[in-house]
Amino acid sequence: MHFFKKISIIIIVVSLVIIDRLPDSEDNEILIKDVVIDNSKDIKIIEFNQEINFDSLILKAIKKGIPLVFKVTLKVVEVNDIWPTKTIIKKIGYYQIEYKALRKVYRIEDINGNKYEYKYIDEAIQKILKVEDFKFLFIDNHMNNELWLNVALDRKKLPKPLQVNYFDRTWYMNSKKSIHKL
């Protein structure tokens, strides 16, 4: 009997690991498109558009005042044929959307920390879909360098009850790695 309890616990743990590794549904995918890189100086400026499908549960959460924080991970890597890729620069930026119930406005904080307020959620979502002026310092050494971009909803900054709900895939919003030559 004790043997079967151990086996059932092992099966449950293995199934949880397998479920966690299953690919997310495409409804929660963030698409990065229209990436523009300003290569004129040592300080590079990136701008890009996104396509995010907000689920009705997520929209309801925003309207209740739950802030959604998105994490933008930027990496500049040196690609080699023989050696593994080498990360030269890694920069992380955040932007967020939240509803301020007392003032009845949607507040957007962009990637540079600038704050904007909108009366309607549609206007706020349109603002959040465009990431502008994401700056990083990079001196081009004329090597085979690539820029890797990734955007994801930072689930660690959600309220604890939403973090605990392990099987709800609604909050697993992320993009695939977007690769661009520098």
The structural domains of the chain, with segments of one domain joined by +, span 25-181
Structure tokens, 42: 């040592």
Q: Give the type of residue at 169.
A: R
Is residue 66 packed enough to be buried (19+ CB in 10 Å), middle (13-18) or exposed (0-12)?
middle
- pLDDT at residue 17, rounded to an integer: 56
- In 83-156, the DSSP E strands lie at 86-100, 105-109, 115-118, 130-137, 145-153
Of the candidates 96, 75, 89, 98, the one whose C-alpha atom is nearest the C-alpha of residue 148 is 75
Half-sphere exposure of 181 (CA within 13 A, CB side): 3
What's the rounded Cα separation, in Å, for the pair 154 and 162?
Answer: 12
CB atoms under 10 Å from CB of 123, counted, come to 14
Report CA 21 to chain centroid distance, whole Å: 18
- pLDDT at residue 25, rounded to an integer: 47
Task: Output the tens digit of pLDDT for each of the chain's 182 residues.
Answer: 565 666 777 777 666 556 555 544 456 788 998 899 887 777 888 999 999 888 888 888 888 888 999 999 999 888 877 777 788 889 999 999 999 988 999 999 999 999 999 999 999 999 999 998 888 887 777 778 888 999 998 888 877 766 556 566 777 888 998 888 87
pTM: 0.77
How long a stretch of residues is the chain? 182
- pLDDT at residue 81, rounded to an integer: 74
